[in-house]
Amino acid sequence: MIHYGVIVHGGAGSPSHFSDGCKVACESAFGFIEAGKSALDAVVEAVRILEDDGRFNAGYGSALRLDGKTVEMDASVMDSKGKIGIVIAIRNVKNPIQVARAVLETPHVALAGEGATAFARKQGFAQFYKVSDYAMERYKEIKQKIKEGNLSGEDYRWKDYDIEKLWNYKSGSYKDILCDTVGSVAIDKKGMLAVANSTGGFSPMMQGRVGDSPMIGCGFYSGPACAVATTGMGEEIIKKMLAKTVYDMVANGKDIKKACELGIKMFSSEIKVGIIAISKEGYASMSNTGMASYTLTHFL
């Protein structure tokens, strides 16, 4: 029986040797719970640290959109009492997860675009725009693929689509011109569960594109049975409502590892996907990629 614990992942697209970053985030979040803080506090802390790392596609490390300038980020947080906070396509903030946490204290569940950014300012979150070296490198690779006329070689979603026709940025063109999400699930000493997600999206992306990470039941879900965070290609994860599908399996008595295994198997191997989940009975962290992750648990 798990007394308390935290799992952190760095995204289905993150190499396993980035697990050192997940370890730092997990240890800090675990320390929160050991000190009596809630699972909600813990997952927000874990994701905040990953947002500041620069190697992960979230916060400071967020992937650039196709124009090479725009950064739009999504983040979400939910606990097992059903409290939810979401920001979608927020710009110019350092830690979208903290803004999502602040949304949780409003009458709303989700804020998007300019409204989300304006809310962040009103709450005292400073203006922030900085692109990490890692995010810039990833963008250069995509730009090269576009130049070669082989964007679908980078990402099959773009097969059969004309980037020029779909260009929806105010300026520039496709001629001027990667993956993923960080997440954490936790259970605290009182048995409360929580999940947090943050992402810069899944490159290559049009302006305004939204993936699974801020969509309840797709990228995240938490209830009395368990907390689940997913990562990978949002367009595919949304179609399968992956987080709620895994949650329901656990709620109906399936072992948590088996449920996550079945969740991963719902996707063909070229679709990157990862899942972390925790409950009183057990936990799981798995992917079809070898993603960076870290787990700390204390058993009764």
In the complex, what is the shortest distance from the CB of residue 193 to ligand GLY, in angstroms, rounded to a whole number? 21
Of 213 and 245, the one with the shorter C-beta distance to ligand GLY is: 213
Q: Counting Cβ atoms within 10 Å, is residue 113 exposed (0-12), middle (13-18) or buried (19+)?
A: middle
Torsion angles phi and psi, residue 283, rounded to 5: -150, 165
Other C-beta atoms closer than 10 Å to the C-beta of 265 total 11
Residues in contact with ligand GLY, counted by CB under 6 A, come to a total of 12
* 248: alpha, beta or left? (left if phi > 0; alpha if psi -120 to 50): alpha
Take residue 97 and report the two structure tokens written for it.
């997860």
Positions 219 through 248 that interact with ligand GLY (CB under 6 A): 231-234
Catalytic residues: 181
Of 41 and 72, the one with the shorter C-beta distance to ligand GLY is: 72
In the complex, what is the shortest distance from the CB of residue 64 to ligand GLY, in angstroms, rounded to a whole number? 14
> Which one among 132, 180, 228, 256 touches ligand GLY, defined by CB under 6 A?
180
> Which one among 213, 245, 289, 295 touches ligand GLY, defined by CB under 6 A?
213
Stretch that binds ligand GLY, among 48-56, 168-176, 198-206, 259-267 (CB under 6 A): 198-206
Is the CB of residue 148 less than 8 Å from the CB of residue 171? Answer: no
In the complex, what is the shortest distance from the CB of residue 283 to ligand GLY, in angstroms, rounded to a whole number? 21
Q: What is the Cα–Cα distance from 264 to 291, expressed in whole angstroms?
A: 13
Q: What is the Cα–Cα distance from 159 to 221, expressed in whole angstroms?
A: 31
Of 98 and 181, the one with the shorter C-beta distance to ligand GLY is: 181
* Interacting residues with ligand GLY (CB under 6 A): 180-181, 199, 201-202, 211-213, 231-234
